Amino acid sequence: MDVSNAFLHGVLHEEVHMTQPPRFIAASHPIKVCFLASHCDSSLFVKKTTSSITILIIYVDDILLTGLIRDSSLTTTNSVESGGHKAGMTNCKATASPMPTKSPILPTADLPFDQPALYRSLVGALQYLTITRPDLAFAVNSACQHMHCPLISHFNAVKRLLRFLKGTLDCGLQFQRGPLTLNAFSDSDWAGNALDRRSTTGFCVFLGPNWISWSSKKQPTVSRSSTETK
């Protein structure tokens, strides 16, 4: 979140409650507030309950609010359905994979897609979905590389991705209790892009059994061997 026009010496026109507001004071805990300040960082506040942890961090006018519900999952079903509606694929049939292993059409022999704004809108929504769907990272990264001038084959690839999402609406991140051990995995293909011969790198990081970080990104230079790509 971002607070508009928040300055260190600005004039506030709103009430800011540093204590419990009148008529909303907890009778059993009149001096307690929702969040407890961290001892290691004065701008970090934490609220813990038996079922969840909520974390609030503030830097001047920027606020980050996040949390974790124990033994739960995160999904983005609404965004999937919205993307299907934009593309006119509300009742499309599901497919088993987000993209084919090899492109059946060479981009150099294809025609431009006549609705580039629609393509960019759909791919932008798909980027948001990767927040809870690591399995989409590679396919969405591939789609993002053609935002400037999408071809018909690129739009068909996006439609296939939407069909894959249609059959996996309930998939998402699953959070479970476990040991706080950190494990990272990384791999790359070699010259996976047929046009510029650049490779794509992917990695994922686990904290215990929970997936906490991931990425799929095309490398900026051409690697001369499979060893160099890694």
Residue ranges per domain, the chain? 1-70, 73-166, 176-229
User: Measured between alpha carbons, how far is 213 from 225 in angstroms, rounded to an integer?
Assistant: 27
For residue 167 the two structure tokens come to 């059959």
- Give pLDDT, residue 10: 67
- Give pLDDT, residue 65: 83
For residue 79 the two structure tokens come to 């965004």
For residue 135 the two structure tokens come to 């399995």
Q: Are 216 and 204 in contact (CB under 8 A)?
A: no
Q: Are 138 and 200 in contact (CB under 8 A)?
A: yes
Neighbours of 13 (CB within 10 A): 5
Gap between the terminal Cα atoms of the chain: 37
- Give pLDDT, residue 79: 67
- Give pLDDT, residue 6: 53
pLDDT means per 10 residues, the chain with 230 residues, are 64 72 81 80 86 84 76 66 78 89 62 93 89 91 92 92 89 86 93 86 94 92 84
User: Measured between alpha carbons, how far is 69 from 49 in angstroms, rounded to an integer?
Assistant: 10
Whose CA is closest to 77, among 166, 174, 210? Answer: 166
Strands (E), 70-193: 72-74, 173-175, 182-188
- Give pLDDT, residue 29: 81
Q: Cβ-count burial of 201 within 10 angstroms (0-12 exposed, 13-18 middle, 19+ buried)?
A: middle
Q: Are 138 and 97 in contact (CB under 8 A)?
A: no
Q: CA torsion, points 108, 110, 116, 120, in degrees to nearest 10? A: -70
User: Measured between alpha carbons, how far is 157 from 138 in angstroms, rounded to an integer?
Assistant: 12
- Give pLDDT, residue 49: 82
